[in-house]
Amino acid sequence: MIQVNENYSKLKASYLFADIAKRIKVFQTTYPHKPIIRLGIGDVTEPLPPVCIQALHEAVDEMASRETFRGYGPEQGYDFLREAIAKHDFQARGADISADEIFVSDGAKCDTGNIQELFGAKVKIAVPDPVYPVYVDTNVMAGRTGKNTNGRYAGLVYLDGTVENGFVPAPPKEPVDLIYLCFPNNPTGAVATKEQLTAWVAYARKNKALILFDAAYEAFIRTPGIPHSIFEIEGARECAIEFRSFSKTAGFTGTRCAFTVIPKDLVAYTKKGEKVPLHPMWTRRHTTKFNGVSYIVQRAAAAIYTKEGKRQVKKIIDFYLGNGKIIRKAFAKAGYDCIGGDNSPYVWVNVNGKKSWDFFDKLLHDAQVVITPGAGFGKDGEGFIRVSSFNSRENVEEAVKRIVKAL
């Protein structure tokens, strides 16, 4: 008899964005003539930078001739991309990362979801709350949690993000083995200082723990002194893996390219306490289960590291950050405190004690603007909403006009 993985039955039944879509559908059926503006889902709206388009065209032409055609490439990524990443994203910032420590993939979602395969079934896991749901759900699927009661899974250590700690939780008192951190944060837009990350690295080293650092929104950091990578922190090579993505950096959400950094020094332990390096384990996993990102997409990704590519990427991100500024200003004007939107595409709004789904309904009905209720990201997200800067300037300006009027 074929049995199912019953851990799947522990997953919370509905998916946040499906719930949102349902409410929008009901609204649109009732009021078909009221145009909705979406500041909800975190998908980009601006097209790929022109350097990427040019690189794509050139790479497509290479595929058209026998001499330059490419079939299967190296699973870990082509050297031209891995070398560009190591040089521009890490070494240029003083982070000691080499090209062969970079694994190119088709998404940070898959990587953050798949990485837990490397770890034991009983590891103690700490996750922030509010949180990007992938970290939690993939561990639920793997059987590392108990049941969900009142929005929290038994067996996980939740790191509370609050107004008091600026949504940057400090290390817990108790020892844990695996820690998920995400900065700039989705959903709160919070960033961690060098001191805060140094405390996490010290904690991880002391407890022989591992930090999984999701830096998918790194390109939005503008405040000087805020680390762009966990590997800017001394000692992080011994205790951290980093995830990056071209999705939000260069509009690759539909084009798909990302990478994971696993230092060669990094180890986990057997039950007996023997050290096992993780770099060869992930190499084995990646080469067994993944066949590489397409050549043309890797050429497009590499184009962002040219001088012109950097300029174009900065321009697009500056544009989204400009939207963030407008959104923050509007909520402040209406009497609501916000964080984020300055080093991140997300503005996290404190809705003054109201329920986040009630606020969602209010903005949908009174302003025809869709946002994301904070409660969808965890218990600590209740009382907040996430507003995304990913939209056209025209839509953002119209949305905030309506929001200010409705509030």
Q: Which residue ranges make up the site for ligand PLP (CB under 6 A)?
A: 42, 107-109, 112, 132, 182, 186, 214, 216, 245, 247, 253, 258
Structure tokens at 360: 């969602």
Structure tokens at 77: 């990524």
If the CB atoms of residues 85 and 216 are measured against ligand PLP, the closer one turns out to be 216
Taking alpha carbons only, the member of 105, 114, 37, 53 closest to residue 74 is 105
Residue whose C-beta lies closest to ligand PLP: 107
d(CA 180, CA 201) in angstroms, rounded, equals 12
d(CA 42, CA 26) in angstroms, rounded, equals 22
Residue 332 backbone dihedrals phi, psi, to 5 degrees: -60, -45
Note whether 204 and 211 are within 8 A (CB).
Answer: yes
Q: Sign of the C-alpha dihedral, residues 128, 130, 132, 136?
A: positive
Residue 123 backbone dihedrals phi, psi, to 5 degrees: -60, 145
Instruction: Report how far apart, in Å, the C-alpha atoms of 215 and of each of 109, 221, 227, 264 are.
Output: 12, 10, 10, 19
Q: Does the bond joining 175 to the residue before it have cis omega, within 30 degrees of 0?
A: no
If the CB atoms of residues 182 and 190 are measured against ligand PLP, the closer one turns out to be 182
Q: What is the DSSP string of 60-94?
A: HHHHTSTTT---S--TT--HHHHHHHIIIIIGGGT
Place of tokens 């992938």: 134
If the CB atoms of residues 188 and 196 are measured against ligand PLP, the closer one turns out to be 188
DSSP 306: S
Query: Which amino acid, 315?
Result: K
Three-state SS at 33 = coil
If the CB atoms of residues 259 and 368 are measured against ligand PLP, the closer one turns out to be 259
DSSP 387: E
If the CB atoms of residues 245 and 356 are measured against ligand PLP, the closer one turns out to be 245
Q: What is the DSSP string of 97-158?
A: --GGGEEEES-HHHHHHHGGGGS-TT--EEEEES--HHHHHHHHHTT-S--EETTEETTEEE
State the minimum distance, in angstroms, from the CB of residue 246 to ligand PLP: 7
State the minimum distance, in angstroms, from the CB of residue 334 to ligand PLP: 26
State the minimum distance, in angstroms, from the CB of residue 258 to ligand PLP: 4
d(CA 388, CA 38) in angstroms, rounded, equals 9
d(CA 140, CA 158) in angstroms, rounded, equals 14
If the CB atoms of residues 114 and 312 are measured against ligand PLP, the closer one turns out to be 114
Identify any residues that bridge with 160 across adjacent strands, giving them in sequence order: 129
If the CB atoms of residues 132 and 231 are measured against ligand PLP, the closer one turns out to be 132
If the CB atoms of residues 99 and 258 are measured against ligand PLP, the closer one turns out to be 258
Residues in Cβ contact with 70 at an 8 Å cutoff, skipping those fewer than 6 apart: 62, 63, 295
If the CB atoms of residues 18 and 121 are measured against ligand PLP, the closer one turns out to be 18
If the CB atoms of residues 21 and 404 are measured against ligand PLP, the closer one turns out to be 21
If the CB atoms of residues 186 and 229 are measured against ligand PLP, the closer one turns out to be 186
